């Protein structure tokens, strides 16, 4: 016959599993922000100074921004939470697009 001492590790393991199964699950991550470039069309023709860039980010609902001057290297990855501000050689915003 087995003694109670041999069953103790099994009982402890079962109790730990039972308690961990009742632990609350962490909340799901918040949905990614979706960029809405149309909301910042007002910026076309303006200089991309910090105030304008901040407002573009806020108005588009983006989490990230890139200000792209002619010749600026940029990755080709698409990110739905990023707004791109295209600037011409004279320093004026020529386009607002997501990605």
pLDDT reported for residue 66 = 97
Q: Is the pLDDT of residue 77 over 60?
A: yes
pTM: 0.68
The total number of structural domains in the chain stands at 1
* Residue 17 domain flag: no
* Residue 25 domain flag: no
Q: How many Cβ atoms from other residues are within 10 Å of residue 41's Cβ?
A: 12
* Residue 93 domain flag: yes
Q: Is the pLDDT of residue 24 over 60?
A: yes
| pLDDT tens digits, 40-58 | 999 999 999 999 999 999 9
Mean pLDDT across the chain, nearest whole number? Answer: 85
* Residue 50 domain flag: yes
* Residue 92 domain flag: yes
Which residue, chain included where needed, has tokens 């599993």?
17
Report the CATH number that the domain containing residue 61 is assigned in CATH: 3.30.10.10
More confident residue, 8 or 24: 24
Domain that holds residue 84: 37-98
């Amino acid at each position: 016959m087995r003694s109670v001492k041999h069953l103790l590790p099994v009982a402890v393991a079962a109790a730990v599993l039972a308690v961990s199964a009742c632990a609350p699950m962490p909340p799901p991550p918040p949905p990614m922000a979706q960029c809405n470039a149309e909301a910042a069309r007002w910026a076309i023709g303006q200089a991309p100074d910090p105030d304008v860039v901040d407002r573009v980010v806020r108005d588009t609902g983006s989490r990230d921004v890139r200000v792209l001057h002619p010749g600026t290297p940029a990755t080709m990855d698409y990110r739905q939470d990023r707004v791109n501000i295209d600037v011409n050689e004279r320093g004026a915003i020529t386009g607002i697009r997501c990605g």
